[in-house]
Amino acid sequence: MNLYFFDFDKTLYAYNFRMRLPALSLITGASQYHLAKTWWAGGFEKRAEAGEWNTSDEYLAEFERVTGAHLTLENWQEARALASTRIPESLDALALASTIGTVSLLSNNPSPFAESLPVLAPDVTAIVGENRLVSCQLGVRKPDQKIYRLALDHYGVSAEDAFFADDSAENVAGATSVGITGHHLRYVGGVPQVGDLRDAIVRFADRGN
């Protein structure tokens, strides 16, 4: 079985934190500077992505404790959706991969994202189904080798039969270090080179032929 892993942010969907932060500020009444300094610069988002707060309720409670700002899951989803825009060509590449193998998400994100993906990206969910691996669920973030091994074990697939696409060269290097075929989705002039991604998917499917 060929297994195709896809990152989410900046791979399947464009992501703009500069859209998200003002929305969070407007929703909570806290300044953008305060939210960025306390939560993101304080390292709490990365800790959440590594699974420190396993549920959305735990994440939101910690967010309020750290920032003093109350946030509901619906508020979180609203701000996140404003920062996320589908990349149609990437969704086409995901759909292509689904016709020649098994596809799965493999994303660094916190528990609210794992719970909210069907709301944020129903098009992605329609293709990958339940094959959604988020770092908070695995307890480790890319590019740690452990996350790739856990992902392979989850599907019972060997590294040589797995493909991984991500906009981060560092994350791709983590995947290739355990034997997965990696593809770095490059941006040129702010535009993702999705044609290269489609070609890489086809080459992987045709390997050995």
In terms of domains, do 8 and 25 share one?
no
Cα dist from 88 to 44, 74, 76, 120, 194, whole Å:
31, 25, 24, 15, 9
CB 184 within 8 A of CB 197: no
Tally of CA atoms within 13 A in the half-sphere of 133 that contains its CB = 23
Cα dist from 111 to 55, 98, 102, 173, 202, whole Å:
5, 25, 24, 25, 33
Q: Which two tokens stand for residue 139?
A: 């307890």
In terms of domains, do 118 and 199 share one?
yes
In terms of domains, do 165 and 107 share one?
yes
- Domain range holding 155? 3-14+86-206
In terms of domains, do 200 and 98 share one?
yes
Amino acid identity of residue 63, one-letter, is: F
In terms of domains, do 56 and 145 share one?
no
In terms of domains, do 73 and 126 share one?
no
Q: Could you tell me which of 107, 142, 73 has the C-alpha nearest to residue 5?
A: 107
**CATH code: domain of residue 122:** 3.40.50.1000
In terms of domains, do 100 and 142 share one?
yes
In terms of domains, do 60 and 138 share one?
no
In terms of domains, do 10 and 37 share one?
no
In terms of domains, do 62 and 163 share one?
no
What total number of domains does the chain contain? 2
Last residue within a domain, chosen from 31, 63, 82: 82
CB 163 within 8 A of CB 181: yes
How does pLDDT run along the chain (209 residues), one tens digit per residue? 899 999 999 999 999 999 999 999 999 999 999 999 999 999 999 999 999 999 999 999 999 999 999 999 999 999 999 999 999 999 999 999 999 999 999 999 999 999 999 999 999 999 999 999 999 999 999 999 999 999 999 999 999 999 999 999 999 999 999 999 999 999 999 899 999 999 999 999 998 76
Last residue within a domain, chosen from 82, 105, 137: 82
Last residue within a domain, chosen from 32, 67, 82: 82
Q: Which two tokens stand for residue 126?
A: 């329609």
In terms of domains, do 33 and 7 share one?
no
Q: Could you tell me which of 196, 180, 187 has the C-alpha nearest to residue 104?
A: 180
In terms of domains, do 21 and 72 share one?
yes
pTM (2 d.p.): 0.95
Q: Beta-strand (E) ranges in 13-127?
A: 13-15, 84-86, 102-107
pLDDT of residue 166: 98
